């Protein structure tokens, strides 16, 4: 890899994210770097597979990856939503750093990503499947030699797909189509290692199977979860508005369709492994099978992800690579989608250096490093506007969830005795010392991770204190260059409000002098964007200051004409 290129990428990433991006300390490939294959499945529950204990779904091909490698028994995502999770996998960053807060936000093309690094160091790279970061863009992305994708969620049947920049009307089921392109890529003879992400649309709602699997589980013994129909009196108030969206769903029928749709992925994995074996590259390939997030199939009366409940944040994670993992290995430590990037860099012979928050899966599985807790985050999404932003901490024994909503009851669960999170202990005085400790630990995790969004968790009881009412996002672009066409240096400032409040948005220079007032009004809840033209201001550092009532948040901006 050309170090100067990566150094430039890392510096740009640092400026864009508002924190240091990860860097690579060893720029040379291992003498025999592995091929890398990531099989990414949409909305896949951790317990949906045979090897993870499912009662009727059989998945011998997927199970094979775990049985011939390592199964991470406690794997999670740090943000349970399609696009933010995918951005974390590619960048190795938390959502508050890569800033893909919801599905309609594209990944900044200037950010350093694993495929860019591997491509620059000699890998042949390919992305095949659902990208989803930005609904209205299916064009090839930086870091990939081969590109097969589609707009947003795409379609299960006869989809329009983008093949290396050219749109093609495909026929058939999307799982079969993507598998065909993946097999074609794997069949090529090559001298260099390859990096392939096969990103399935399945099993996203509406669950649509190939016709050959339709009705396969119509007679299966499908049992509704224990938290189906639970009393919401101790849950956050917004659930009373959200749950009715799912009230008329037939969850047994939906579970049948879900697993029939998943059957196509199971078949696909068998074909992929067979092709690797045929090419005699299976043992030389690091194979990762992972879900982008979990999914609730009736738990807590819901059919969604997003929330910090176990079924939403738990994912299957299996890795096959004989050089690292003995067959049949299991790891009980907590692993995260945040750990994929450092794992891939290490496998390729590059050391993930400063400020990459994840941990190599090799080190986690081998017991070199243990994780005792992690930070979960969720940001405002206009599609589900009734769900407030979330921060949570999960330890081995407990989970504490807090919301940026004055009316939302916080949640505390003892996972040792209440794995299904039915008994909210937030008001139980016997757990007050544990609650205080978890609140402190959550604030410490946020501080260590650089999560500086306006989100109050440290008060003794947030319901009696000032809730977090707003969030000021980093402006884009940042730094502000002059536009090649207009010559103007213009940036977009984006902020979210969760209530009707007095708002003042101002720009200050480095001396503290106010140079612009962009907003001074009472505004209602929602996400707002406003542009600032810095063309007539000198180069330098500026501060964007958002005041909501008595609360203030500030972001740094750089003007470089």
Q: Residue 514 maps to which CATH number?
A: 2.60.40.1930
| Residue 381: inside a domain | no
435 has a pLDDT exceeding 50: yes
pTM score above 0.85: no
pLDDT level of residue 476 (50, 70, 90 thresholds): confident
Does residue 71 form part of some domain?
yes
pLDDT of residue 69: 98
Contact residues for 458 (Cβ-Cβ < 8 A; gap 6+): 439, 440, 443
Q: Are residues 417 and 484 in the same domain?
A: no
Report pLDDT for 7: 37
240-268 average pLDDT score: 95
- CATH code, domain carrying 428: 3.30.1120
List residues bridging with 551 in a β-sheet.
548
Q: What is the mean pLDDT of residues 538-549?
A: 90
Q: Which of 173, 254, 164 is nearest to 218 (CA)?
A: 254
- More confident of the two residues 17 and 172: 172
For residue 206, whether the previous peptide bond is cis, meaning omega lies within 30 degrees of 0, is yes
Q: Is residue 27 scored above 80 in pLDDT?
A: no
Same domain, 103 and 41: yes
Confidence of residue 444 (pLDDT cuts 50, 70, 90): confident
For residue 291, tell me if it sits in a domain: yes
φ, ψ dihedrals at 438, nearest 5°? -70, -40
Residue 348: its pLDDT value, please?
Answer: 94
Edge-to-edge order in the sheet of strand 398-403: 373-378, 390-395, 398-403, 411-414
Give the span between the Cα atoms of 173 and 399, in whole angstroms. Answer: 40
Pair (335, 442) in one structural domain: no
Same domain, 176 and 254: yes
Q: Is the pLDDT higher at 553 or at 295? A: 295
pLDDT-based confidence at 482, cuts 50/70/90?
A: low
The whole-angstrom separation of Cα 209 and Cα 435 is 44
Q: Do 109 and 354 form a contact (C-beta atoms < 8 A)?
A: no
Distance of CA 48 to the CA centre of its chain: 19
Token representation of residue 2: 């050309």
Q: Same structural domain for residues 290 and 407?
A: no
pLDDT number for residue 140:
96
* 11 and 78 belong to one structural domain: yes
| Cβ-contact 269, 202 below 8 angstroms | no
Mean of pLDDT values over 412-429: 97
Q: How far is it, in rounded angstroms, from Cα 42 to Cα 295? A: 9
What pLDDT digit, counting tens, does each position of 335-364 carry? 999 999 999 999 999 865 446 899 999 999
Does 408 lie in the same domain as 289?
no
Give the three-state DSSP class for 434.
Answer: helix
Share of the chain above pLDDT 90, in %: 71
Regarding predicted confidence, which is higher, 477 or 103? 103
Q: Is the pLDDT of residue 454 over 80?
A: no
| Residue 297 buriedness (CB in 10 A; 0-12 / 13-18 / 19+) | buried
Which of 161-175, 245-259, 535-549 bottoms out in mean pLDDT, i.e. has the lowest?
Answer: 535-549
* Residue with token string 């050391």: 351
The whole-angstrom separation of Cα 269 and Cα 282 is 13
Mean pLDDT of 19-39: 67
Higher-confidence residue of 460 and 237: namely: 237
pLDDT-derived band at 29, boundaries 50, 70, 90: low
CA distance 15 to 477: 10
Do the domain assignments include residue 379?
Answer: no
Distance CA 122, CA 213 (A): 40
Same domain, 451 and 477: no
Averaged pLDDT, 48-77: 98
Tell me which of 407, 436, 464 is where a domain ends.
464
| Within a domain: 218 | yes
> pLDDT at residue 504 above 60?
yes
What radius of gyration, in Å, describes the C-alpha atoms of the chain?
Answer: 24
- Whether 376 is in a domain gets the answer no
Minimum mean pLDDT among 25-29, 322-326, 490-494, 519-523: which range?
25-29
Report the candidate in 337, 436, 345, 457 with the shortest Cα–Cα distance to residue 27: 345
Last residue of a domain, one of 464, 495, 512: 464
Residue 383 lies in a domain: no
* pLDDT at residue 6 is higher than 60: no
Identify whether residues 409 and 517 lie together within a single domain.
Answer: no
- Same structural domain, 414 and 432: yes
Average pLDDT over residues 411-430: 97
The whole-number average pLDDT for the span 234-257 is 93
What is the spatial distance between Cα 150 and Cα 155, in angstroms, rounded to a whole number? 9
Of the candidate ranges 100-114, 357-371, 413-427, 480-494, the one whose mean pLDDT is the lowest: 480-494
- 10 vs 220, residue with greater confidence: 220
Q: Which residues contact 466 (CB under 8 A, 6 or more apart)?
A: 456, 459, 550, 551
Residue 300 has what DSSP assignment? G
Cis before 558 (ω within 30): no
Same domain, yes or no, for 444 and 483?
no
Please give the average per-residue pLDDT across 61-79, as a whole number.
98
pLDDT at 9: 37
Domain boundary among 310, 336, 368: 368
CB 450 within 8 A of CB 96: yes
Contact 72, 365 (CB under 8 A): yes
Domain coverage including residue 292: 3-368
Q: How confident is the model at residue 325 (pLDDT cuts 50, 70, 90)?
A: very high
Count the Cβ atoms, other than its own, within 10 Å of residue 315: 25
Task: Share the mean pLDDT of the chain.
Answer: 88
For residue 239, the domain's CATH number is 3.40.720.10
**Beta-bridge partners for 168:** 161
Residue 514 pLDDT exceeds 60: yes
451 and 484 assigned to the same domain: no
Number of domains in the chain: 3
């Amino acid at each position: 890899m050309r170090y100067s290129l990566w150094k430039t990428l890392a510096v740009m990433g640092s400026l864009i994210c508002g924190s240091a991006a990860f860097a690579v300390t060893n720029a040379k490939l291992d003498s025999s770097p592995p091929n890398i294959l990531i099989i990414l499945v949409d909305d896949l529950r951790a317990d949906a597979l045979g090897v993870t204990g499912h009662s009727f779904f059989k998945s011998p091909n997927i199970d094979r990856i775990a049985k011939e490698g390592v199964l991470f028994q406690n794997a999670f995502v740090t943000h349970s939503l399609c696009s933010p999770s995918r951005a974390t996998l590619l960048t190795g960053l938390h959502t508050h750093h890569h800033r893909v807060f919801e599905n309609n936000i594209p990944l900044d093309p200037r950010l350093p990503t694993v495929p860019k690094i591997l491509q620059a160091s000699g890998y042949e790279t390919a992305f095949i499947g659902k990208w989803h970061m930005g609904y209205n863009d299916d064009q090839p992305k930086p870091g990939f030699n081969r590109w097969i994708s589609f707009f947003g969620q795409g379609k299960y049947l006869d989809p329009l797909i983008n093949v290396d920049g050219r749109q093609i009307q495909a026929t058939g089921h999307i799982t079969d189509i993507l598998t065909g392109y993946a097999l074609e890529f794997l069949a090529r003879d090559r001298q260099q290692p390859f990096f392939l992400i096969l990103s399935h649309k399945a099993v996203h709602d509406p669950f649509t199977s190939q016709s050959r699997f339709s009705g396969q589980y119509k007679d299966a013994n499908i049992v509704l979860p224990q938290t189906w129909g639970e009393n919401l009196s101790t849950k956050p108030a917004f659930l009373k508005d959200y749950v009715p969206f799912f009230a008329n769903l037939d969850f047994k029928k939906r579970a049948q369709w879900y697993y029939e749709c998943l059957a196509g992925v199971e078949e696909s994995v068998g074909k992929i492994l067979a092709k690797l074996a045929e090419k005699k590259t299976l043992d030389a390939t690091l194979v990762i099978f992972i879900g982008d997030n979990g999914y609730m199939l009736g738990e807590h009366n819901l059919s969604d992800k997003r929330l910090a409940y176990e079924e939403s944040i738990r994912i299957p994670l299996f890795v096959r690579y004989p050089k690292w993992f003995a067959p049949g290995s299991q790891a009980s430590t907590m692993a995260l989608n945040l750990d994929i990037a450092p794992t891939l860099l290490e496998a390729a012979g590059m050391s993930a250096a400063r400020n990459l928050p994840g941990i190599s899966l090799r080190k986690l599985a081998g017991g070199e490093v243990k994780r005792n807790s992690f930070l979960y985050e969720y940001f405002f999404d206009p599609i589900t506007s009734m769900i407030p932003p979330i921060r949570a901490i999960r330890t081995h024994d407990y989970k504490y969830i807090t919301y940026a909503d004055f009316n939302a009851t916080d949640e505390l669960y003892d996972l040792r005795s209440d794995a299904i999170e039915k008994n909210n202990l937030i008001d139980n005085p016997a757990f007050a010392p544990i609650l205080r400790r978890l609140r402190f630990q959550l604030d410490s995790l946020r501080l260590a991770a650089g999560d500086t969004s306006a989100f109050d968790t440290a008060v003794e009881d947030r319901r009696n204190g000032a809730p977090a009412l707003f969030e000021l996002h980093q402006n884009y672009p940042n730094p502000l260059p002059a536009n090649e066409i207009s010559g103007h240096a213009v940036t977009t400032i984006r902020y979210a409000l969760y209530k009707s409040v007095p708002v003042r948005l101002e720009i200050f220079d480095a001396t503290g002098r106010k140079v612009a007032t962009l907003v001074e009004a009472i505004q209602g809840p929602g996400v707002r964007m406003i542009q600032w033209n810095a063309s007539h201001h000198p180069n330098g550092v500026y501060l964007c200051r958002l005041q909501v009532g008595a609360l203030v948040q500030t972001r740094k901006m750089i003007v470089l004409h």
